[in-house]
């Protein structure tokens, strides 16, 4: 009999994703250094220069970080098709 795993597999197949790809992307996310999403920037403040840490623009991400971000967006859109 099919259990929760069978339902998840069927959902992935309907979405056009293979279980192996999802597992590979989860591995990539687990071992990715999250510091690559952020950048230190020095801006002019009232009392002089101030260093802030901010999220990088998507166009400034390296290929590995951009791939993780795009996969996460794809999963969110596929999980909630009625919302989009």
33, 62 contact by CB (below 8 A): no
Instruction: Please give the tally of structural domains in the chain.
Output: 1
Domain that holds residue 64: 4-83
Residue 3: φ, ψ to 5°: -110, -155
The pLDDT tens digits for 13-61 are 777 777 788 788 788 888 888 888 889 989 898 999 999 898 888 788 8
The pLDDT tens digits for 54-73 are 888 878 888 887 777 665 55
Nearest in space to 64 (alpha carbons), one of 34, 40, 38, 39: 34
Half-sphere exposure of 45 (CA within 13 A, CB side): 8
Residues 70, 82: Cα–Cα separation, whole Å:
20
Residue 29: φ, ψ to 5°: -65, -45
């Amino acid at each position: 009999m099919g259990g929760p795993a069978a339902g998840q597999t069927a959902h992935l197949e309907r979405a056009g994703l293979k279980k192996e790809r999802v597992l590979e992307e989860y591995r990539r996310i687990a071992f990715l250094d999250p510091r690559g999403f952020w950048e230190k920037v020095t801006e002019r403040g009232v009392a002089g220069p101030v260093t802030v840490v901010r999220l990088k623009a998507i166009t400034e991400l390296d290929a590995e970080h951009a791939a993780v971000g795009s996969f996460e967006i794809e999963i969110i859109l596929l999980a909630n098709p009625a919302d989009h």
